[in-house]
Amino acid sequence: ALGKHRLYGREAGEERRMVARMVAHPGYDPTTKDNDIMLLQLLAPAAISDRVRPIPVASCLPRPGTSCLTSGWGATTSPEGRAWPGGGICG
């Protein structure tokens, strides 16, 4: 679903698209969840709106210690209960 702000339930402006292809990060580790990211190629293009927009891609890596914004539906703590490193800090 595109344009979602809440994990559960339907939302106004939400788009649903079928996935044509999934590309996992080559360094993904299912045990530690390191590199837990995947590219999805949609079967049909998304309709760009105020809720659905392309994500700007950085032209270079940020320096360690740079403030960063992350998003997703994943865990914010490790299996041991510790917050993931950085809390919004890159590197």
- What's the CATH code of the domain at 6? 2.40.10.10
Count up the domains in the chain and report the number: 1
With respect to residue 10, please indicate whether it lies within any of the assigned structural domains: yes
Q: Is residue 18 part of a domain?
A: yes
Q: Indicate the SS3 state at residue 88.
A: coil
Q: Per-residue pLDDT for the chain (91 aa), expressed as one digit of tens each?
A: 888 877 788 888 889 999 999 999 999 999 988 888 899 999 999 999 988 988 888 888 888 888 877 777 766 666 676 665 555 555 4
How many Å apart are CA 30 and CA 83, to the nearest integer? 19
Tokens of 73: 């539906």
**Encoded tokens for 63:** 């320096």
Residue 64 lies in a domain: no
**Is the model's pTM score more than 0.95?**
no
Half-sphere exposure of 27 (CA within 13 A, CB side): 2
Cα distance between residue 25 and residue 36, in whole Å: 7
Residue 35, in any domain of the structure: yes
CA-derived radius of gyration, the chain? 16
